[in-house]
Structure 1
Amino acid sequence: MRLDLPDDDILYGALLARDPAWDGRAYVGVTSTGILCRLTCPARKPKRENCVFFGTIGAGIEAGFRPCKRCHPLQPAAQADPAVQALIKALEADPSRRWREGDLVALGHDPSTVRRAFKRHFGMTFLDMARQTRLHAGLTTLAQDGRVIDAQLDAGFSSGAAFRAAFARHLGLPPGAFRSDALLKADWFQTPLGPMIAVSDATHLHLLEFTDRKALPTELKRLHKACKGSLGFGRLAPTDRIEAQLDEYFHGRSAQFDVPLALHGTPFTCAVWDMLQTLPAGSIHSYSDIARRMDRPESTRAVARANGANQIAIVIPCHRVMGADGSLTGYGGGLWRKQKLIDLERQYAPTESIPA
C-alpha cells in the first residue's frame, strides 16, 4: 500500500542515489514519460515534480504507467519464480497478445497457481496485467483522436467486438458510442498522481476523475444518458483550463479553481458539493461538521454519501473530509492519493484553520 511508504522526499533521494536498499520496496512513475521504474534505474533522473511513488508494481501499472525497458521492474520478482519469469518474458515479447486462462494451460501452467504468484509479487493477476497493457495502448490512441480501428490494433485485440467489450468494461461505454460532433468531449492528461479524465462542454466541466477510479464506468454511463449520447473524444476550453490550473496546484503555486462546473446530482447532493468548495485548502473537516454548516446536523450519513458521489475530483475537495475519529475513510481515487493531497495542501493551509 502507498501509505506504507515514507515521505516522497526520502524516496526521491533514494531515486537520485540509486539506493539498492529500496529495490523492490518502492517504484517511481514518471508523469512526463508514463514510465514505471525501479528506484535503481540507470536512466536519467526525472524532475521531482514529475515523480509519483508506488508501493507495488501493480499499483503503478493500474495508474497508467508502463514498465521501463531499461531497469525492467517486473524482472526482479519474476526471477524468483520460473513460471512468473516465463510469462513476463512472453508478455514483453508480445504486449498486444490477448491472453486467456486456456493459454496458460497450453503452456503447462496452472491458472490458479499463476494467479496467486502474480498477486503475491505484483498485487495483480497476470491476466489483469496483460489487459491493462492492451487497454492503455488503446486509450492513448483514442485520446489522441485516433480512429477506433487504430485503437483496436494498438490494443492488440483480434476483432472490433473484442475491443469494444474490453473498452466497455473499462470506461462503461463502447468506442462507437463516442461521436465526433458531440456536445460533451472527453480527454485525459497526466498528473503527479496519475492520469485523469476530464469531460466538458464548451463552457463547463462535467467530470474530472482519476482513470483508475472504480466508479468511472458508472459515471460515464450516467453522463452519456444525460446528454442523450452526445459524448465524444476531444479537447474543449474547460479541459485545457483545468489541466493548467491543476498544474499550478500540484506545483504549489495556487489552490484556486475557477472553471465553471456542471453538477449532476440531487439538490441536496449539489448543496454538499457547493459547501465542499468553500473549505479552504489545507483545512480538514468531518462529515458531521459539513452537516452542521448546512444546518442539517441530522444528515451526516447523507453528507458522506454525497461526498462519495463526487465526480469532479480535487476541484470539489472531498479529500478534505475525514472520519469523526480523524481516519482517512474512503476516497474513490485511493487512500494513498487522499493522503498525498492532504500532504500537498499543507503549504496552502490558512493561518487559522477552521476546526473540524
Structure 2
Amino acid sequence: MLFDLPDRDTLYAALLARDDRYDGQAFVCVSSTGVFCRLTCPARKPKLENCTFFPSIGECIDAGFRACRRCHPLQAAAQADPAIGALLQALDERPDLRWTEQHVARLGYDLSTVRRSFKRHFGMTFLEMARQRRMREGFEALASGGKVITAQHEASFDSPSAFRAAFARLLGCAPADLQAGSLLRATWIPTPLGDMIAVGSHSHLHLLEFLDRKALPAELKRLQTASKEGIGIGGSLPCEQAAHELADYFAARSGTFTTPLAPGGSAFTRQVWDELRAIPAGETRSYGEIARQIGRPSATRAVARANGANPIALMIPCHRVIGADGSLTGYGGGLWRKQRLIEIERQLKTTPQEKAP
C-alpha cells in the first residue's frame, strides 16, 4: 500500500489543505508530538520535516505513535465495527489494565472475530495494541532517567517480574541490567520513522537500531557479553552527536555522519560496511556490485549476510543495497522504512550538503 501513495510533498499539501480525498488512505505521524493524525485533522499543522506518512493505522502504531485526540483516526474503524469501538473505549478507560483474552471474552466478544477485525483495520490485534501502549509508557520513563520501579508503574504492570519479562522480550535483557555508570550506555532516540536505541561509550557509537528490529535483543546481548560492566542507561557524547546528526538527516538538511563508530565484526564484514559507507546518499548498489567493488565477485551471498548483520543502521547505510533487478530487498527495519529512507536521500541528493570536517 505504501508504494501506491502519492509523494510526500503531495500528501503534505493535502494535510495543509485538509483534503478529504486521502482520508482513511493515508495518515501523518508527527515526530514533534508523538501522535498520528488523519490528513483532515483540525490541529495546528506540523512542519514538513516532522511528518512521516503511512497508508495504515497499524504502521503508525508500529512506529511508536499515539492516536490524535482531536481527529480520532481510530474512529472510522470503530464506527464500521461496534466491537472495535467498544474495545477501544474500554482501552481508553482502563489503560492500566493488563488486557488478556479472558478480559475480552468477559465483555461478550468472540476472540477470533475480534482478532480478525483488529488485524484487518490496524494490522495488529487488540492485545498487541494494548501491550504496546503500556510498554511505551515504561520506555519513556526509563528514557527520561526514571527508576525501573517507576517505569514498571508507568507501564501499568502490577508485578516487577511481568514487567521484566515484557522488557526482556523486546530488548533481550531485563531493565535492571541497564544500570547507570556503565562504560556502554543506551539512549532512546525518537525519529520520524520510529524510536531508535543507540549504545555508545565515551568515544564511539556501538549500536544504532530501530526498537522494533527483531535482531535488536541479540545485538544487545552481544554487547552485554563483550562488556565487563554490561550496558547502562544514560547519555554519551557519541549518542548525543548521533541524535543531532539524525535530526538533520530526517529533515533532509544533511546526509553527513561523522559520529565515530565501533561496529565490531570480522575483517570481511568491516570491509563490506566500509564499502556501504562509500555509497553516496541518494544512490543504491546491488549485492553483486558491492562484492565486485571489494574484489570478491563470487562472494555475493557473504556480502548479503554482512549487510544483514550491520548493527549501526543509517550511518552504515545497508538500506542503500537493493536487488540486482532494482527491487527493494529484505531490510530488518521493514521495507516501508527502507522505501522512506531512499525517498529522504533523494531529497538529500538535490540539496547542497555541508562537507564533513
Task: Provide the rounded CA distance (Å) in 2 between the counterparts of 1:111 and 1:282.
Answer: 46
Matched ranges for 1:299-338 at <5 A = 299-338=299-338
Correspondence for 1:89: 89
Task: Provide the rounded CA distance (Å) in 1 between the counterparts of 2:127 and 2:350.
Answer: 47
Correspondence for 1:189: 189
SS at match of 1:108: coil
Give unmatched runs, 5+ long, in structure 2. Answer: 352-357
* Residue type at the aligned position of 1:31: S
Change beyond 3 A, Cα 1:226–1:4: farther
Correspondence for 2:24: 24
Task: Provide the rounded CA distance (Å) in 2 between the counterparts of 1:206 and 1:269.
Answer: 15
* Residue type at the aligned position of 1:65: F
* Residue type at the aligned position of 1:94: R
TM-score (normalizing by structure 2): 0.95
Task: Provide the rounded CA distance (Å) in 2 between the counterparts of 1:2 and 1:350.
Answer: 23
Task: Provide the rounded CA distance (Å) in 2 between the counterparts of 1:23 and 1:94.
Answer: 29
Residue identity over aligned pairs, in percent, reads 61
Q: 1:41: Cα distance to partner? A: 1.1
SS at match of 1:36: strand
Q: Deviations over 1:286-329 (max 9, x none)?
A: 10011011111110001011111111111101111111111110
Task: Provide the rounded CA distance (Å) in 1 between the counterparts of 2:225 and 2:96.
Answer: 32
* Residue type at the aligned position of 2:97: R
Correspondence for 2:355: none
Between the two proteins, the alignment pairs up a number of residues equal to: 351
Task: Provide the rounded CA distance (Å) in 1 between the counterparts of 2:253 and 2:78.
Answer: 42
Q: 1:266: Cα distance to partner? A: 2.0
SS at match of 2:187: strand
Q: Kindly report the root-mean-square deviation, in angstroms, between the aligned alpha carbons of the 2 structures.
A: 1.5
Correspondence for 2:153: 153
Contact 1:96 1:133 in 2 (8 A): no
Contact 2:49 2:252 in 1 (8 A): no
Matched ranges for 1:13-92 at <5 A = 13-92=13-92
* Residue type at the aligned position of 2:192: P
Correspondence for 1:128: 128
Q: Deviations over 1:203-249 (max 9, x none)?
A: 00011111221211221112111113520111100011111112222
SS at match of 1:298: coil
Q: Does 1:252 align with 2:255?
A: no
Give unmatched runs, 5+ long, in structure 1. Answer: 352-356
Task: Provide the rounded CA distance (Å) in 2 between the counterparts of 1:221 and 1:75.
Answer: 40
Task: Provide the rounded CA distance (Å) in 2 between the counterparts of 1:133 and 1:94.
Answer: 12
Task: Provide the rounded CA distance (Å) in 2 between the counterparts of 1:44 and 1:315.
Answer: 33
TM-score (normalizing by structure 1): 0.95
